[in-house]
Structure 1
Amino acid sequence: MTERTPMTAIADMVILNGRVRTMDDSQEVAEAVAVSGNRILAVGSNAEISSLAGPSTRHIDARGGTVMPGFNEAHMHIFGGSVALGELSLFGVKGFDALSQAVTAYAAANPHLPLLVGQSTDYTILSEEERVTRHHLDRIISDRPLLLVAPDRHTGWANTIALHMAGILEGRDVGVGNEIVMGEDGLANGELRETNAMRPVASMSVTGGREGLGVGTGGEPEAVTAAERARDIAILKNGLSYCASLGITSFQNMDGNLYQLEMLEEIDKTDGLPVRVRMPFHMKNFMPLSDLTDKAVAWRARFDSDKLRCNFVKLFMDGVTEGETAAFVDDYAHKPGWKGEPLFSAEHFGQVAVEANRLGLPIAVHAIGDGAVRLVLDGYQASIDANGPRDNRNRIEHIEVVHPDDIARFATTGTVASMQPTHPPGSAGLPLEPYLTFIGRGRWPYAFAWKTLVDAGAKIVFATDWPVSPLPPLHCIRDAMTRRLWDDDMPDHRLSLDQTLAAYTKTSAWVEFMEDRKGMLKPGYYADIVVLTGDIATVASEEIANLKVALTICDGRITHKTQSA
């Protein structure tokens, strides 16, 4: 049995009869875990842990299921995901008739919604050849505003009345990297690329689009009534409970605004957060460099507990491939002459990287195309050159394509690869097209190349980017373990189960600078634990998603349990 302190301590809770995966290299497996307060007291055999129980100790029977550190979702959007739980999901819907039936039924069931919103709309929902336009949507519903949103949340499609009410039917300048696609008739055709284009329509929703501010603009709502704020908090609480039900005990929220931080702070002070939250300051390309000192550093000082922290900077370098807003080194395969436009120049991003790291703020940058990835790596190298070698733990988010010349630079710059096994086309119900055609076959071996990066010495963390992809970690782990090749001569990017679980636990804790107190089941560490209904090490990879979360414990408190737990 591993050491425990003190020797006479009595456990508040013991979990027995488990297949304990500690993620601790010094004691990888065990049978049982003891918890005292909010900390792990001991890990060992059933007999050893049972000896720590007293008359009031709670006994949990894991029944042979996996007991492991709680999942740490390294990239998600809690407010948008929480709102989406109550919106129409078009996940898996194919064809105009099925789309029409789903939207019509949702509209009938929600007669008072000011804006009908359908999430997870495939780019090829109509067919692989035909893109959605306002005219398609008008055929479904023309007298109520309708907005469909792509799974990546970087593209939307609105009907005519929505475009008219938003004041963008005749188009509008929406800034670099954003586009209101215009039709041959001189009017918007309904396709809205990136946040600035979608926001005029999204702001008509029941939440006023407030859930998109932190990720889209880095801004704050102009005015929120007490009733609206109460509604938003209730929505967040529902989302937090959903996270706990999936075995998540920590997440790194990629929305960065004060409104969300203050709501989460209120939840923590009243009910207590059921999940640990890390949030960034969102730096946009129009913000002055002084915002890093005036806001990001101030927020870090204000939100600095192990339940709610704001201690890094998030940026966007590009958009998404399917919307033709990702930035590549070479042209899009289907569109000669177009590489996409980065949202920051190399010089500007370098300035941000140098200053943020100088202030001790790690950086996470959304970069989809290999051109955007290269620009970010260049900025991180500029930070090293200016500030000297530091333990920055800077990250790149998504890395859908990496240029072969840049693979080794992840290790040399200490850049963390933050990737989503649910995102490769063909995974998690996603279609292969138009993605494969847009990037071209020559880029396929370097797309979603997480094993290539790991083999080259990069640290990796996994996540879903919820609500872009379904949130359950077990689904994501299954997708990581069962990823299929796009062709027989493509590299196999699957990692081992241990590597995959580490990317969801101890490495995700490490990237937060919290590896000394969470991410492992180890005496003295936080009691952040998930108990599964079966043994994840012995079930077939295809069956991992069929396991259930029997029990979730965060900070020593049970945040979710099934009736049988």
Structure 2
Amino acid sequence: MPTAELVLTGAEVRTLDPARPYATALAVRDGLIAAVGDESDVRDWRGPGTEIVDLAGAHLVPGLVDAHSHPVWGLDMATGVDLSAVRDLDGLRDALRGAARIDGWVIGFGLDHNVFGGRPPHRSLVEDVLVGAPAFLRLYDGHSALVSGAALAAAGVTGARSFVQRSEVVCDGDGRPTGHLVEHAAMELVAEVMPRSSYGQRRARLVELLSAMAATGLTAAHVMDLGDLELVGAVAAEGVLPVRLRFAPWCMPGADREALDGLVALQGRRGRHWRVGGVKFFMDGTVEGGTAWLEHADCHGQGTEAFWPDPEAYTAAVRHLHAAGVRTATHAIGDAAVRHVLDTVEGLGDSGRFVHRIEHVETVPDDTLARFARLGVVASMQPPHTAYTRGDHGDEWSRRLGTERAGRAWRIRALREAGAVVALGSDWPIAPYDARGVLATAREPLGAAAAGGGLSGIQALEGCTTHAALAAGEGHESGRIAPGLRADLTAFGLDPVAAPADELAQAPVRLTVTGGHVVHRGD
């Protein structure tokens, strides 16, 4: 073979390739894996310009993939004061009292629904500590926010609004906005008038974020939005994106044929380490926000409507995109939402197998599990989300659903046992992006999901490699270590399959390689 550009040697290589499950060395050329072998092969691969990296016994696996993330849009979502550590209303008030202003605004993110102790979010709970400042506080689910009266005034919001999608400016009995904005269209009313980081600031933050992601072993992310292709393209043109990005732009209610064809036209746009591939839908919202589409109402009488006011319009849109060869991913958290997406894919026949996926799948009954495997629908799940629930079902998610439905939380193991493809991710900034944490919580889910059990070590690794590749239609080019596949690689200081989950969550990342480029070197 021609001289390799990079040779990794001295490794315990787990390839996930049935043709050669294990190796100790490999060669990389032109961004691809050129050869897989052992130490005796290295002399045949090296040349004057070859970089040789001795991994000294580190455990090398296919590059880890976050199958659901928002690294570009999330730059705006994760702006301001981090409220994720706040546990009660007093803590929230203290955090806001001392929060730095951004052009006069108080902006926060990661606020736990449980902070309100079961009470509806209301601006009166925090208005006094804001001292008249406009404030936008994003709830951790990313589907709702609490804003102050000054923020409502800045946006000209004085009462209820009508939207094409399921969204709400929550109002009291007198028609006055409470400050609780539910779902994207309602939040956007205020987001449009908020301060925004400059292009230079966002660019620097993107590079910093992707480098930090790579330091946890991530080599790629399925981006569930369109992001900012101009920003991404500019960064990619001047250097190497440490994490490969695959974007799926949104298709929202009200999309007509022209809009759908516009989404088709976006497919395949690309640059080095980024591309547009797929379309993202929303079938519902979130349990905590009362907008998950459920087969029976939640404890507040909410959750009986889809995000698309006409669910059949969603089905027609999926059919249109499918006919054009476009893959889809649909946000579906509640049991009714999941069932409708499965029914839609079933209507496509065999051509829909392993082309479409469902994101989140937070609660589903037994009769739904086998349909994922039978229809070839990928389950894309985010194990770190389980940290927002409690084993005693005392959290907002569990209380809204009730004991029976909360007892089927994040049925990740049951879906794998049913034969489904299960891709794993974080949904950053909704949950931490650390790939090691994704692997660890997939094996040992937290809170309400713990009773359902987790994956084995090898199943968790597959969720971030081979199954993630299948979810993106990239099984022929990634997810394994084999000649001709992408040179996306992650090296740990311990075995990610055999090590206990708690140790894996803190495992040293010795090396991360994306497209043949070393993008992270650990100690």
Identify whether the pair has TM-score above 0.5, normalized to the shorter chain: yes
Name 1:297's counterpart in structure 2: 264
For residues 160-199 of structure 1, the aligned pairs below 5 Å read 160-199=149-188
Alignment pair present for 1:520 and 2:480: yes
Distance in 2 (alpha carbons) for counterparts of 1:251 and 1:337: 33
Give the counterpart of 1:549 among 498, 509, 512.
509
Percent of aligned pairs with the same amino acid: 28
Q: Which amino acid aligns with 1:298?
A: A
Task: Decide whether the 8 Å contact of 2:334 with 2:363 is kept in 1.
Answer: yes
Question: 1:305: Cα distance to partner?
Answer: 5.7
Confirm whether residue 116 of structure 1 aligns to residue 106 of structure 2: yes
Question: 2:416 — aligned with what?
Answer: 454
| Partner residue, 1:308 | 274
- Residues 248 and 275 of structure 1 are in contact (CA less than 8 Å); yes or no, is this contact kept in structure 2? yes
Question: Is 1:471 aligned to residue 433 of structure 2?
Answer: yes
Aligned pairs for 1:52-71 within 5 A: 52-71=45-64
How much does 1:477 deviate?
A: 0.9
Tell me if 1:559 matches 2:504: no
Aligned residues of 1:361 and 1:392 also touching (Cα < 8 A): no
Give the equivalent residue in structure 1 for 2:95.
102
1:140-179 equivalences under 5 Å are: 140-179=129-168
Summarize the Cα distance change of 1:338–1:312 in structure 2 as closer, same or farther, 3 Å threshold: closer
- With the length of structure 2 as denominator, give the TM-score of the two structures: 0.92
Distance in 2 separating the partners of 1:189 and 1:390? 44
Shift of 1:401: 1.4
* CA distance in structure 1 between the partners assigned to 2:386 and 2:472 by the alignment: 26
Partner of 1:343: helix, strand, or coil?
A: coil
Q: 1:99: how far off?
A: 2.2
User: Does the Cα contact within 8 Å between 2:457 and 2:498 map onto a contact in 1?
Assistant: no
Q: What letter is aligned with 2:142? A: R
- The runs of 5 or more residues in structure 2 that have no matched partner are none
User: 1:145–1:430: structure 2 CA closer, same or farther, 3 Å change rule?
Assistant: farther
8 Å contact 1:124–1:130 — kept in the other structure? no
CA pair 133-290 structure 1, distance change in 2 beyond 3 A: same
Task: Specify whether residues 400 and 184 from structure 1 end up closer, same or farther in structure 2 by C-alpha distance, changes over 3 A only.
Answer: same
Q: How does 1:271-350 map to 2 (within 5 A)?
A: 271-293=239-261, 295-301=262-268, 303-304=269-270, 307-332=273-298, 334-336=299-301, 339-350=304-315
Given the alignment of the two structures, is residue 495 of structure 1 paired with residue 485 of structure 2, yes or no? Answer: no
Q: Give 1:529's aligned residue.
A: 489
- Provide the residue aligned with 1:213 in structure 2: none
> Aligned residue for 1:251?
221
Shift of 1:406: 2.3
The SS at the match of 2:399 is helix
Structure 1 residue 36 corresponds to structure 2 residue 29: yes
d(CA) in 2 for partners of 1:389, 1:47 = 45
* Residue 129 of structure 2 corresponds to residue 129 of structure 1: no
| Corresponding residue pairs, total | 523
User: Measured at CA, do residues 35 and 431 of structure 1 come closer, stay the same or move farther in structure 2, by a change above 3 Å?
Assistant: farther
Q: Give the RMSD, CA atoms, in angstroms.
A: 2.6
Q: CA deviation at 1:85?
A: 5.3
| Counterpart in the other structure of 1:222 | none
Q: Structure 2 CA distance, aligned partners of 1:337 and 1:280?
A: 29
| 1:379 corresponding residue in structure 2 | 344
Secondary structure of residue in 1 paired with 2:210:
helix
Change (3 A) 1:19 1:429: farther
Tell me the SS of whatever aligns to 1:290: helix
In structure 2, the partner of 1:508 is 468
2:207 to 237, 240, 244: 237
For the pair 1:369 / 2:359, whether they are aligned, the reply is: no
CA shift at 1:379, angstroms? 1.3
Aligned mates of 1:292, 1:183 — CA distance in 2: 37
TM-score by length of 1: 0.86
In structure 1, list runs of 5 or more residues that go unmatched: 1-5, 209-227
Partner of 1:93: helix, strand, or coil? coil
